[in-house]
Structure 1
Amino acid sequence: MLIEKEGLEKVAKRHSRLTQATRKAVLAINLEILGDSPSNVLTSVVLPSKINGEKLRELMQARFGVQVAGGQGSLSGKIIRIAHLGWMDASDIIVVISALEMSLLELGYPVQLGRGLKAAQEILGGHGSHSPQVR
């Protein structure tokens, strides 16, 4: 339904823009992206060694209602995965990045609040990256 309403080309462009915004935000708060050539489906974020990914995920959910996936196998607790496909739109990415910044700060990681948000907004601002109103 989403692809039919929005059109395949627009869906692909939106996902690409959301991906760019997410990754620019992650890099702006001095975190690493896992993988040499990640896809536009999600961004895997390598966490600082002092930050437990499961605690971070729990805090983001409990405090801000934001769900991100954790790592699997050997990456459990070491990464989080931020999706940017399907119904995700610019406002979702802004909320995820905001929750990530505040949660990292609460867990002791020195984040300059708003730095990641600004980076994401520079990509998302004024580019019509919202999904269609077909929910």
Structure 2
Amino acid sequence: MKKLIAAIAILLAVSPVFAQTAAPKTAPAQTTTPAAPKALPAPEKRAIAYTDELKTKLHLTDDQYQKILAVNTECIRRKDALKAGGQKNGPGHKEISAYRKQQFQTILTPEQLTQLKAINAQNAPKKSAE
């Protein structure tokens, strides 16, 4: 009988400890779905960020900026669609890169294309390391 009372007393003494260590509830907006382990910004935001970078490095005109932004947005959307379909690398990505390159050649001046090739050459080691 004494053992039963002692066990109940210990149980009552320890139970508040477990109540204090419960994990706090998170807001629904902070939870992520298991299908998207790495949330990316919207394609438009990523296209704007990349186009802004090109604008400062290549000194794009306003007309060039708008055309490059449209091309970048289209390419990012197409790449996201390929990734959503489970294709990480392959012919689809090469087609998108070829499309972007062809469009850039019609929009940019020869000097800007040379600068872009230099920028891409600098970024190539970073991409291969990832």
Higher strand share: 1
Higher helix share: 2
- Fold match by TM threshold 0.5: no
User: Which has the larger Rg?
Assistant: 2
TM-score w.r.t. the length of structure 2 is 0.34
Greater RCO structure (CA 8 Å; 6+ sep)? 1
TM-score w.r.t. the length of structure 1 is 0.33
